[in-house]
Chains A and B, each alone.
Chain A
Amino acid sequence: MRRQLLAIVAFLAAMALVPHLVDSEFWRNWVMMALFYALLGQAWNILGGYGGQFSFGHAAFFGTGAYCSAILHVHYGVNPWIALPAAGMAAGLVGAFIGFLSFRYGLRGSYFALVTLAFAEVLRILANTVPITGKGVGLLIPLEPGAANMQFADRTGYFYLILAFVGLALLLTLWLEHSRFGARLVAVRENEDAARALGVDVFRTKLAAITLSGALAGLGGSYYAQLFLYLDPGIAYGPAISVEALLVPIVGGMGTLFGPLLGSFALHGVSELAKLAFGEAPGLDLALYGVLLVLMVMFMPNGLFGMGRTTLARLLGGRRDA
């Protein structure tokens, strides 16, 4: 636990130096977006990685967080900093609602995955229809630069904000790994019936996980809204976010503390690499990205973190033998 905590602190400290050391605004932005997707991945990881419940619909939480803070700000004049916790709570509530229904009826595996997908779609259609979201026209947050409005003219503020969120998610995950709740969650993942036999309240455990996961993704949504100042139903609830949220931790290593971070940086690196190779031929870079994705899964079935750990163990083990 202490070693992990140290690693988190070291990581955050290193990242905190990025705006000062990296002069290229492109790469600063790149790191920032990698952190953003890492946050979504960490949210997914709590439910999917530790709890074993695969969600295909994390956009439902992301979008709710985004719309909640934007609507509070645009229609009710609520300061974004105050809207932020509200966004997290709203997304957590959506998580609790979806979780309540699906876990109540014992949905598991692909059934659960599909039901989350369907809920995200329902929310997308609703966002397209109800006036408060601006329907298809979308919701534009007025440009009022100033830290008080959570709009940072100089992007460093955005950088530290997402870093803070990632730090929060890391600490939350660390706590999870060492708490009784986390132990119960992992027990549910490994074998639901056995966990129940041991006296774990399976339903409540999963419900807590999806609520927590949703709330974190909602913070990500609120951040996105303040960063790009525009939302429409496709951006908020479209499948792109759901896919990113699950790709990042699975590639990085499900159910591990640093897996989502590794996954996000690796995927964004791979995407950059693909652009480097074929950036000017429309589609070819994304095709290469797909190939690399398949190859990563083929050669690192336990995710990057898993592979890193195995390699490290082997190296260390080898040295000890010698």
Chain B
Amino acid sequence: MSEVKRKKSISRRAFVAAAGGAALASGMAGFPSIVRAQRGPVRVGILHPVTGPLAFSGNQARAGAMMAIETINEIGGIRSMGGAKLEPVLGDAQSKPDVGAAEVERMNEAGVSAIVGPFASGIALATTQAAAKHNIAHIVDVGVVDQVVTRGLANTFRFGPGLSKIVDTAIENLVAINDGAGKPARTVMIVHEESAFGTGMSKVLNEKLPGRGFQIIETISHANPTRDFNNIVLKIRAQRPDIVIPSNYYDEFVLFSRTMAQQKVRPKAIYAILGGAASSQRFVKEFPDAAQYIMDCNHWYDPRNPVAQELRKKVEAKGLYFTYELFLNHECVRLLAEALERAGTGDRAAVIQALASSGFANHFMPYGPTRFVNGQNQGAAPVNTQVQNREIQLIFPKEFASAKPVFPMPAA
């Protein structure tokens, strides 16, 4: 990854020196702002929290975006612009919204045509707003909180699904899986982390699940970090829910599912929503027994797509894991490249217009063609996966499935 960066991105040193110099030269003397170069590469801001608490996700996301840029440049860049190459301008939001917004300013000075990032919803709210000021297209890679795209910012596009869509799909699929097995499950316990996505998810679940024939026994919110999950698992054991729905970050998910295994608690299903395990090969590899049969409703790629399969091989050859942060960012960059191809220019307004009319269909997500309404990709949806014998299988919806759901979980 670092090799790619060194070769393809402009060095930050050169850029800041240039920006600073420009500020002094043009700014102090009262010249108009720097005129962006009309020829040459198209600059793209790649903005993620690569340090701080969200660093793992941020680095995965950056890797995905960089690999897409590398591939696009290898196969000839943006053809309608005479083969112009994409040139990443890297930014680190340090897991803080104010730093993210400052990085947008930096990218603006660097003359980026668009920004891809910044993984977390809290940061996305700040960066989309900052980018809107400069009319820079901002493709939100993950940032699932609904408000990221409902504030009427014309520059903001979210390729992946928002929280409401994810939870709605999760409920539909849960009902379908349960019906398909002859309705063995009726009671549910929810274990969620206390920040935006876990709390938001549990709220929607509590509103909607009772109407779909499920009884919620208890909803447990826990802190990040939670150091010990024994209490939560003890409560689960005492109340014997048919289904446990966890929604938390990777670290807590590891401790939680490990404690479930240690305490020998086996509900009929562990059905995660935006959970750690079933969407992380690392977890499956390190704890195959604890991960077995865990289901997850999350971002996932179309497993039958050859581009995705090849990318996965490439990612794993680099010693990285093929996680949703990585492939979503990969596809966000391709979405942008396709828009640039149609726009034929790196001009910001034209890029926004091209994205707004995007019909990008050549991606490897299980979405269908891209269509943005108020900045949200209408086709975007999560899917259900299940860990089956050390492999993460897509089990729902049927048209993309690589395996059948195993439900209820067989006795150990």
Contact = CB atoms under 8 A, between A and B. Distances in A.
Contact, chains A and B (beta carbon distance below 8 A): yes
Interface of A: 21-27, 29-30, 33, 125, 128, 135-138, 140, 142-143, 153, 155, 224, 227-230, 232, 234-235, 240, 272, 275-277, 279-283, 285-286
B108 A230 contact: no
A247 to B, nearest CB: 15
A136 B247 CA distance: 14
B217 interface: no
B5 A137 contact: no
Contact of B12 (A125, A128, A280): A280
A153 B105 CA distance: 15
Contacts of B318: none
Interface stretch (B22-30, B177-185, B237-245): B22-30
A285 B92 CA distance: 10
Contact of A33 (B12, B59, B102): B102
A165 B133 CA distance: 24
B28 A276 contact: no
A234 B121 CA distance: 13
Contact of B51 (A138, A230, A282): A282
A73 to B, nearest CB: 16
B151 interface: yes
Q: What are the 5 tightest A-B residue pairs by CB atom distance, in nearest-first order?
A: A23-B27, A24-B23, A279-B12, A282-B50, A136-B199
Interface string B226-252: 000000000000000000000000000
B75 to A, nearest CB: 24
Given A276-B13, A279-B92, A280-B5, A26 B109 contact: yes
B2 interface: yes
Contacts of A279: 12-13, 16, 90, 92
Contacts of A277: 13
A143 B147 CA distance: 11
**Looking at A29, A140, A224, A228, which has the most chain B CB atoms within 10 Å of its CB?**
A228
B25 to A, nearest CB: 9
B98 interface: yes
7 contacts: A23-B27, A26-B108, A137-B200, A140-B147, A143-B129, A228-B126, A277-B13
A135 B197 CA distance: 11
Nearest to A124: B223
Interface residues of B, number: 58
Given A22-B28, A23-B31, A275-B12, A235 B122 contact: yes
A133 to B, nearest CB: 11
A286 B90 contact: no
Contacts of A29: 101-102, 105
A210 to B, nearest CB: 26
B12 A229 contact: no
Given A23-B33, A275-B12, A228 B97 contact: yes
Contacts of A235: 96-97, 122
A136 B102 contact: no
B165 to A, nearest CB: 17
The prevalent SS among residues of B at the interface is: helix
B196 A137 contact: yes
Contacts of A285: 92
B62 to A, nearest CB: 8
B129 to A, nearest CB: 7
A224 B58 CA distance: 24
Contacts of B59: 282
**Looking at B13, B106, B108, which has the most chain A CB atoms within 10 Å of its CB?**
B106
A232 B33 contact: no
B102 A280 contact: no
A33 B98 contact: yes
A7 B56 CA distance: 46
Contacts of B13: 276-277, 279
B194 interface: yes
Nearest to B126: A228
A138 B200 CA distance: 10
A230 B125 contact: yes
B305 interface: no
Contacts of A283: 50-51, 55
B306 interface: no
A275 B90 CA distance: 11
Given A137-B200, A230-B125, A153 B133 contact: yes
A235 B19 CA distance: 29
A124 to B, nearest CB: 10
B195 interface: yes
B145 interface: yes
A90 B153 CA distance: 33
B199 to A, nearest CB: 4
Contacts of B193: 136
Interface in B274-311: none
A272 B5 contact: no
A230 B195 contact: no
A155 B132 CA distance: 12
Nearest to A153: B133
B210 to A, nearest CB: 20
A128 B50 CA distance: 25
A234 B31 CA distance: 41
B109 A25 contact: yes
Interface string B117-129: 0000010011001
B45 interface: no
Contacts of B12: 275-276, 279-280
B248 to A, nearest CB: 12
Contact of A136 (B22, B94, B101, B194): B194
B203 to A, nearest CB: 8
A160 B186 CA distance: 59
A6 B122 CA distance: 42
B152 interface: yes
Contact of B129 (A125, A229, A275, A282): A229
Contacts of A227: 98
B76 interface: no
Contacts of A21: 27-28, 30
